[in-house]
A and B are shown apart, each in its own frame.
Chain A
Amino acid sequence: MRREIPLLITAITGIVFVLQYFIPHAPFNKMNTWFSDWFSIVGAFAIWLGALNLLKISFQKIMDKKSDWFFALVIIISFFVITIIGFAEGQGFREPGTTFSWLYDYVYSPLSATMFAILAFFVASASYRAFRARNFEATLLLLSAFFVMLGRVPVGDIITGFLPQQYQLSQVASWIMTFPQTAGQRAIMIGIALGLVSTSLRIILGIERSHLGGGD
């Protein structure tokens, strides 16, 4: 039973969503409404699970006096600071002027934005130290990157200002994006989508069950 019930749940929900696509009314539209509401609620608990797991790991680090225990403590403290404030401030926790939104604006946003911003530096260093035209394929990749990067900013047209307009870099970049780039993306997209479709089908039919843990 431990295996059959989950498989049945997956099969029913999956089939309802597929049928809803072809039969857009009762009873499938109602079931669709229910399922999508439940989905949001369960999804919230699933993310809670992640947060609780993080707390568990951090507590363990402190208990075991691992070398990084101080930072584990910081994780726990900052977690509790924002959750307590968020719960205390009630449903309007997000409105401008609340402490929660202050934390969001001056702590969360700068941190998450900077996390991604520093990648700019690593891109440059990797470009210098590792990105080599080691074979024909890599050469094509770098050439296309070269045209796109230059063509998408004003400098490109300044450098190629002596050429007729339709051969200037901005036009070349546009051409690459609109034609070969689109073709490649489309081939990849169709491939990935086929993979998703077959995986979804396997899951709904109960052939794939690795998400439930363990093999057959």
Chain B
Amino acid sequence: MEHVAVWIAAFLTLGIISFLYKDNPWYKLSEAIFVGISAGYWFVVLFWDNIYGKFWVGVFPPDVVDEAGNFVSHGVPDYALIVGAVLGVLMLARLLPGVGWISRWPLAFIVGCTSGLYLMNYFSSNIMRQVQGTIIPLFGIGYGASVYEIIGNIVIVGGTFAGLVYFFFSKEHRGAFGATAKVGIWVIMITFGASFGYTVMSRMSLLIGRIDFLFGDWLGLIK
């Protein structure tokens, strides 16, 4: 069985890689399997974890037993979860013609939850804390920083400021304001360059992982 398994994995891996040559039936087959399997995977996982694990077990809790398996007490059901399940079923109404509008209710709930949560989370961590983190001394007698750090701090403060200027849409980019925006776009370009480098790094690592599988686990050529 183990031999079959590793061959199937290798067959599918090569199928995807064959896309590099051109779009072909082997790739299409592997892709179709991928699409079907991944949709099914999430279907099953969400059923057992969310719908069974969260809803069913919550509403019909198993009895509490001690270590020997003797009955101690009945579990406490949480009937509030039924609301969640009802909303969930309404979601599927979208598939039916005529009553599709009712799927807006659960959608509205989902959107409300994420909006409410994001509003404060992003405001505090990604705005407030970032502004606070930028308030740093540039240089000074009481501040024992090296030249390396002083230049760095100036770059962080100036760069963040100029970057914000670039994304400021209420004022035309002219004069000193325009010059600052220019610096801002330079800093942003350096940022993109770095993240480009990191993306290349990431993709290459994943490829290395697959090569390790093909030549190591499958063919046994790597020591």
Touch A–B, Cβ below 8 Å: yes
Q: Footprint of B on A, CB under 8 Å?
A: 2, 5-7, 9-18, 21, 34-54, 56, 68, 71-72, 74-83, 86-87, 91, 93-94, 100, 102-121, 123, 127, 137-138, 140-149, 152, 166, 175-194, 196-197, 199-201, 203-204, 211-213
Instruction: Provide the bound-state CA to CA distance between A182 and B167, in Å.
Output: 16
Structural contact, B36 and A77, CB atoms closer than 8 A = yes
Instruction: Provide the bound-state CA to CA distance between A190 and B125, in Å.
Output: 10
Q: With A74-B36, A201-B119 as given contacts, are A188 and B163 in contact (CB-CB < 8 Å)?
A: yes
Instruction: Provide the bound-state CA to CA distance between A97 and B98, in Å.
Output: 45
- List A contacts of B201 (CB < 8 A): 149, 152
- List B contacts of A193 (CB < 8 A): 122-123, 126-127
Instruction: Label chain A's interface by main secondary structure.
Output: helix
- List A contacts of B186 (CB < 8 A): 137, 140
- List A contacts of B33 (CB < 8 A): 74-75, 78, 107, 111
Instruction: Give 5 new A-B contacts, CB below 8 A, not counting A121-B20, A204-B112.
Output: A74-B32, A86-B45, A144-B189, A183-B159, A183-B160
Instruction: Provide the bound-state CA to CA distance between A68 and B195, in Å.
Output: 38
Structural contact, A137 and B189, CB atoms closer than 8 A = yes
Interface-side segment among B3-11, B65-73, B170-178: B3-11
A-contact bits for B145-178, CB 8 A (1 contact / 0 none): 0001001110111111011101100000000000
Instruction: Provide the bound-state CA to CA distance between A121 and B187, in Å.
Output: 28
- Asked if B76 is at the interface (CB within 8 A of a chain A CB), the reply is no
Structural contact, B110 and A46, CB atoms closer than 8 A = yes
Q: With A17-B120, A37-B80 as given contacts, are A145 and B37 in contact (CB-CB < 8 Å)?
A: no
Give the total number of A-B pairs whose CB atoms are below 8 A apart.
398
Q: With A40-B50, A40-B54, A204-B115 as given contacts, are A144 and B127 in contact (CB-CB < 8 Å)?
A: no
Structural contact, B118 and A196, CB atoms closer than 8 A = yes
* Residue ID in chain A nearest B186 by CB atoms: A140
Structural contact, B159 and A115, CB atoms closer than 8 A = no
Q: Footprint of A on B, CB under 8 Å?
A: 5-6, 8-10, 12-13, 16-17, 19-20, 28-55, 58, 78, 80-81, 83-85, 87-89, 91-92, 94-95, 101, 104-120, 122-123, 126-127, 130-131, 133-134, 148, 151-153, 155-160, 162-164, 166-167, 184-201, 203-204, 206-207, 209-210, 213
- List B contacts of A35 (CB < 8 A): 113
- List B contacts of A14 (CB < 8 A): 112-113, 115-116, 119
Instruction: Provide the bound-state CA to CA distance between A183 and B43, in Å.
Output: 41
Q: With A114-B13, A117-B207 as given contacts, are A191 and B164 in contact (CB-CB < 8 Å)?
A: yes
- List A contacts of B28 (CB < 8 A): 68, 71
- List A contacts of B89 (CB < 8 A): 45
Between A and B, 18 residue pairs with Cβ closer than 8 Å are: A14-B112, A38-B84, A39-B109, A108-B37, A109-B9, A113-B210, A114-B17, A138-B189, A141-B189, A149-B197, A179-B156, A180-B190, A183-B158, A184-B163, A186-B133, A193-B122, A197-B119, A197-B127
